[in-house]
Amino acid sequence: MPGIVIDTSGSPYTRLKPVPIENVKLQDEFWASRLDTLLNVTLPTQYKLLEETGRIDNFRRAAGKAKGSFRGLYFNDSDVYKWVEAASFALAYRRDPRVEELTDRVVAEIAAAQDEDGYLNTYFTFERKRERWSNLRDMHEMYCAGHLFQAAVARRRTLGKRDLLAAAVRFADHIYEVFGPGRREGVDGHPEVEMALVELY
C-alpha cells in the first residue's frame, strides 16, 4: 500500500498528483536536520510527557493492567493517537529502532484497552461505561475515534503494520452498530471523525 494520504491520482480534476511518502527522501540541510530533531528529541520527549501525564496509563488502566483513576481531560486519548501518527510518518522517512519500539509498545497498550464490543475510549471505562455516547456534542468520543483511525491508517501506510488498524476497524464497526437509521442518531460536536472515516475507508 503506497503511503499516500488520499489518492487522487485517478481524478480528472486534480492538477497535482500525490507522491507516496516512501518516495520522498529528506537529505537537504534544512529538512533533514528537522527530521533528526523530530526523531531524536521531539518524539522521545513527547512520549515521556504522555507517560508523565498519565495518558498511556489510562490505556493500561482500561486494560486492567494499572490501578487508579483516569488522569487528565476526557479527550486525552487523542494526544496518544496523534503521537502514534506523527511517529509513523517520521519513521516512514527514516527508520529509528528506538522510536519504532516506543511506538510498538504504545500501540500494544492501545489495543489491549479495547473492549470486547470494539469500543475504545479510556475515559468511558469502568465507572463511566454507562455514559458512553450520551453527550456527542461535548465529550469528544467521535473526535478521539477519528484520531485513532488516522493514526492506524498512517501506521499501516508508512510501516505496513496492521495491529492498530485492526483495533480501528473494530471500533468503526462498533460505531456502525450503534449509530444510523433505525439505531441511535446524533451529531458530533467536534469535527474529526468524518475525515478519518474517509481515510479508513
Domain-located, residue 46: yes
Residue 9 lies in a domain: no
Within a domain: 108: yes
In this predicted model, what pLDDT tens digit does every residue of 147-160 receive, in sequence order?
A: 999 999 999 999 99
* Cell numbers that stand for 41 in this block: 528529541
Residue type, 73: L
Residue spans of the chain under pLDDT 50? none
**CA–CA dist 13, 7 (Å, integer):** 13
The answer to the question of residue 73 being in a domain is yes
Over residues 91-102, the pLDDT tens digits come to 999 999 999 999
Answer yes or no: is 11 within a domain. Answer: no
- Give residue 99's domain range: 25-200
| The pLDDT of residue 95 | 93
Q: Hey, which residues does 184 pair with through a beta bridge?
A: 179
Q: What is the total count of domains within the chain?
A: 1
Residues in the chain: 201
What is the residue type of 167? Answer: A
Question: Given this model, what pLDDT does residue 201 score?
Answer: 86
State pTM to two decimals.
0.93
